[in-house]
Structure 1
C-alpha cells in the first residue's frame, strides 16, 4: 500500500510529538501537520506539580525538543489553535480559527481536560486546576508562606501538589474521599507509607467529598462538603480527575466511550488512530477496554500507532499490550510502579524494607503477580516487571 501523502496529528503534547517523530524515523516523508491548542511547543507535564510549581524549574526547561530538533521533523506546526471538527468523509480537520487541514490519515492525541467543581466552572481567582504551564504558574503565585491551600482530590496529582506546596511554606489541607489516599493506585501498604509522610510534613488530611467551590467578590473562599460542612481556605486546587478531550469529535462518527475507542492496534476507524491519554483500547489479555493517563504510555502508544498506521490495512500490525508504568516524586522519594498494585490482595517484599523507604514488592492477586511497586530499589523492581507482564503465578523465595 502507498503511504498516506498527508497525515495530521491533533494534539501537541508528548503523545503527539512522539507520533510525529516515529513517523519520520520510519521513513515517512509526506506532509505532516501537528496541531496544538497551546501556544507553547510540546512540553513535559509531570514536572508541573513538582519542579515548576516549586520554582525549581522555569517553563523553558520543560520543553521536550529544542527548535532545531522540531525543524528537522519538517512539520506543518499549528500551535495556539484547537481542532473544532473532524470530517472523515472529506478527510479534513477543521480548526477553530477557520482554517482546514486536509489529511489522508489522522492521529488523535488531544489528551484530557481537568474536571472542575461546581462554582468554579468559570474563572474564579484562587480556584485552580493543574494541567498546563499557565495553570502551574498561576497556582505558584498564590502559594506564599503561611497561605492556606486546600487540595481537593486523593490522586497522584493532588498528592504531589500538596507535598510541593507544604515545602513552600503553605498551610496545606488535603481533602480525600478514602481513608488511605493513593491505595487504588499504589496499593494499601505504599499508600499508607506516603500518607504518613504527608502528615509528618504538616499536611492536614481531611476525609470528605467536596460538592462545590465557595467564593466571594470574585475569589474562592473555600469548599462545601456533602455533609454541609464548609472548609475555609485562601486557595483551592481541584485535582479531581479529568475527562478525554474529545468534544471536537462529537459528530465525527467515531465511537467515544470514556475516550476514543480503538482496536488492539490503536485504530479508531479507517484512517483514524489514537494514542496517549485520550485513547481507549482493549487489553489483549482480558479484552476489557482501558485508558491510561501515564507519561510512559503516551510515548509507547504513539510509537505503536505510528508503526501500525504506516503498515497499512494489509501490513503486519502489532497489538498494543503495554506493562503500565508510573512514578511519583514526593518528599525526596521516587515511588515507581508497574501494572496494577492497587488491585492486589497481597504485598510481598522481595528487597529492602518499606520502613526504611527502600524496597521492591510484588503485588499479588488470586495467586498471580498483578503489579510491582518500589522505592530506591530499581534493579529488584525491574526484575519483577517480566512477572507483571506475564501475570505469572507468585512463588515466594521460601517456596
Structure 2
C-alpha cells in the first residue's frame, strides 16, 4: 500500500465511532485486538499501511502497558491529535468498562453451561482472527528467508522462554539479528510511518509527568497527604507501569496490589477475571470492576473511574514520551533495518499467540478445529465482517456444546 492510497486524516468524532465499533465487537484478548485493528485501519479504512502498523505494534510491545490500547491511542493521535487519542481510548474502552461496572454492581457472570459455551465460542473466534492477522502480516513483513527465520525464532523464544519479558527479548533479538545480516541498506519505506504531532519537548514533559505520578503518590503519606483514593490510584498506576507482554500480565500484579492488602477478597478478584474474558475490548477494563469493589473513593462509580484512569495512564504517557524519538530513528537506514527485524519478530509473536491459544483449550476437539477453520476462511477469503464471524462461531459453539 503506497502513501497515495492512504486516506486523509479524520476528525475526533469519526475516530470515536470507529473505535466504538471495535470496543463493542473486539473479542478474544489483546493479540486478537491487533488483528481487528489491522483489518479495520490498514485493510478497510486505509488510515495507515502494514509497515507503519507493524512499527507501531513493535514500539508498543517494547513499552509497558496494554499493547492494543496503546496502538489504538497512537492511531487516534495520528488521525485527530490529542482529542483523537482520547476518542480512540474512550470508544474502545467504554463498552467493556460499563459492562464490568455493571457486573460489579450485581450483574451475574457467565457461570452456567450456556455461558461456558459462549466463552468457548469466543476463543474459537479469536483463533480465526489471530490466524488471519498472522497470514496478512507475514505476507507484508517477512518477504525473504532471513526475516521469515526471525519470525520463526521469535515464536520459539516466546513459546519456550517463560515470563512476560520474552516478548521484549524476541523483538530486540529480531532487530539486532537483521542488522547483523547486513540488511542496513534497506530502501526507504513508501510512507514516513505513523505521523504524530508530538514534539521532543512534549515527549520529555510527558516522561517527567510519568515520573511524578509514579513516585508522588507513594511519597504523599510521609507528608500527611495520603488518602484511600490516592492509595488506590497508586496501586493501579504501579500495576500498569510494570506490564510487559499484554493485558493478562496485569492480573497477578493487581492481585498482589488489591487482594494482599485486603481491599478485595480472592473470590471476587477471580470473578472479575472470569467476567473480563467474556467482554469485548481491552482486558485492562477489569480495573472498572476491581476499582468499584475496592471503592475507597466516595462511590463505586468513582472507584471504577480511578482504577481505569490509573491503569491505562502509564502506558499512554510512556507511548507519547517515546513517539518523537521513534519517528526520528525510523528515518535512519540502520534504524529501518532494526525495525524490519522487529517487524518480522512481531509476526512471530502473533504466530506464538496463535499456537498458545489453540493449545490452551480453544481447540479441544475436531469439531472445534472445523469451526475455527471455517471462521478463518470466512475472514480471509470471504472478507466477512468480524462481528458476523464472532456471532456465527458463538452460535456454532452453543450448538456443539449444548447439543442443540
TM-score, length-scaled by structure 2 = 0.23
Structure 1 length-normalised TM:
0.24
Higher relative contact order (CA 8 A, sep 6+): 2
Structure exhibiting the larger radius of gyration computed from Cα positions: 1
Higher strand share: 1
